[in-house]
Amino acid sequence: MKHDDTFESRRRALLQAAGAAAVLLPFSRAGLAAEPAKPKELIVRVWGGEWKDAIDGGVSKGFTKATGIAIKYDETEDNELQPKLWAAVKQKRRPPVAVNWDTTTNATKSALKNMGEDLGDLTNLKGLLPVAKPLGFDGWPLVNVYSYVYVLAYRTEAFPGGAPKSWSVLLDPKFKGRIALYNDGIGFHPAAQVAGGGKVEDIPKNMKACWDFIAKLKAQKPLLGEDPDFTNWFQKGEIDLACTIVTNARGAKKNGVKVAWTIPQEGAKVDTDALWIPKGLPANEVYWAKQYVNYALTAEAQQGWCDGLGLPGVNPNIKPPADMVGDPAYPTKPEDFAKLLRVPNKIQVENEKEWFGKFKKIMQS
């Protein structure tokens, strides 16, 4: 694309002028001398609640302190921002955000459309865990920043005998109308596949076990929602069980809701989130957006950010927060990793539409 070529050449020229020192030594005196002009602020897309608090305390405050660049947040839902970003890049308009905190699945879609700047020149990519590298791309159109597990969260008062052992507890008639899933079924497919008697390796070719299990679940009249709904539903006493990201369950617990979580015997899906920078920003903002991402990968920033989320980062030098030590939802031991169900991102992206259609067909019938 002509636009990309022009933009790339401008960016390269600026980076050459800035000098390699600026890239290798961000925020240092040597770097500052040749750095491009600092924007007053950078806009970062985030999820709200504890997600925003975590990135603000862990990454943004440190970045602002080091550079003087203020960070503003755009809390537009990731799915809703995506077409706006795509349209902006396609129409050669300035994109609405400088850094997009996104699910790896959505970020991969954008990367397939060549929407992002290459992050391959970030100095802090070296030494990250292999999970940081996006699969199926030569360069780094995105960088994965942490992993998360879709746990089985439960209201402790409903389980006086301790944590449920299996995802099959969702089918217990006692919990009819009191269970919750994501409204697109995300995070539940591999667990349903195993709980239904199938194998994760059979995804996507043979998912009969998954769809049969979800069809049985429909009779349980589940509530379907987004991240904030789960906390709300637990708080309001609407549900006893949910398949949700551990961060949401932890957030509810921190807010005084009597909630705990477990990784059932069938295992639980693990996934990643990513940061990426859309094309079409002025060259100086691309530079500073990259510095933001680079800073987010440092041990210091990752520690603060991931402590807030209760999730394992991609920097190997960080430690789990006190309340997550020994928790299999923050995997550290081989037996923890053995219980994680992983579906390659390429398979997720290519099959998302079909899976969504099947999930909707069951749930809307």
Partner 1 sequence: MIRVLDFLESLRATLWPRAARRFEAAAFLLPALLLVGVLVLGLAWMADASLRLLDTETFELSEHWTLANYRDLLENDTAWIVLGRSVLGAAVVTAVTLALAFPYAWVMVRTGSAWLRKLLLVSLFLPFFIGQVVRAYGWLIVLGKEGLVNQLLGALGMGPFKMIYTYGSVLFGLVQYMLPFAVLLIAPAVTAIDEEVELASETLGAPWWRTFLEVTLPLARPGLVAAAMVVFTLALTDYAMPVILGGGTNDFVANMVYDAFFRTSDSGMGSAVAIALVAAATLLAGVLLTWLGAGTLGFRGEAKR
196 binds partner 1 (CB under 8 A): no
6 binds partner 1 (CB under 8 A): no
Q: Which of 8, 74, 184, 336 binds partner 1 (CB under 8 A)?
A: 184
The strand pairing partners of 100, in sequence order, are 45, 276
- CA nearest to 179, candidates 198, 154, 208: 154
SS3 365: coil
Q: Which of 60, 67, 82, 124 binds partner 1 (CB under 8 A)?
A: 82
Could you give the CA distance from residue 335 to residue 122 in angstroms, rounded to a whole number? 33
357 binds partner 1 (CB under 8 A): yes
83 binds partner 1 (CB under 8 A): yes
361 binds partner 1 (CB under 8 A): yes
16 binds partner 1 (CB under 8 A): no
C-alpha pair distances (Å), 235 with each of 31, 154, 221, 222, 242:
49, 12, 19, 17, 13
Number of helices and strands (H, E) in the chain? Answer: 15, 10
79 binds partner 1 (CB under 8 A): yes
To which residue do tokens 């079909």 refer? Answer: 354
C-alpha pair distances (Å), 74 with each of 78, 212, 276, 296:
10, 39, 14, 17
DSSP code string of 28-85: SHHHHHHPPPPPSEEEEE--STHHHHHHIIIIIHHHHHHH--EEEEE---HHHHHHHH
- The two tokens of residue 79 are 């799915």
Cβ 17 to partner 1, closest distance in Å?
34
Question: Could you give the count of Cα atoms lying within 13 Å of 261 in the half-sphere of its Cβ?
Answer: 31
Binding mask 220-239 for partner 1 (x = CB under 8 A): -xxxxx----------xxx-
Cβ 158 to partner 1, closest distance in Å?
13
Give the Cβ contact number of residue 91 at 10 Å: 9
- The two tokens of residue 195 are 């709980």
163 binds partner 1 (CB under 8 A): no
Nearer to partner 1, 28 or 235 (CB): 235
Binding mask 41-60 for partner 1 (x = CB under 8 A): --------------------
Number of residues that bind partner 1 (CB under 8 A): 31
Query: Binders of partner 1 among 109-128, rule CB under 8 A?
Result: 109, 112-113
Binding mask 321-350 for partner 1 (x = CB under 8 A): ----------------------------xx
Nearer to partner 1, 222 or 320 (CB): 222
Nearer to partner 1, 238 or 300 (CB): 238
- CA nearest to 292, candidates 145, 90, 157: 145
171 binds partner 1 (CB under 8 A): no
- CA nearest to 292, candidates 58, 78, 54: 58
Cβ 357 to partner 1, closest distance in Å?
7
Could you give the CA distance from residue 53 to residue 59 in angstroms, rounded to a whole number? 10
**Where does this chain touch partner 1 (CB under 8 A) — which range of 177-185, 196-204, 254-262, 298-306?**
177-185
Nearer to partner 1, 155 or 269 (CB): 155
Residues in contact with partner 1 by the rule CB under 8 A: 77, 79-80, 82-83, 109, 112-113, 177, 183-184, 221-225, 236-238, 349-353, 356-357, 360-361, 363-365
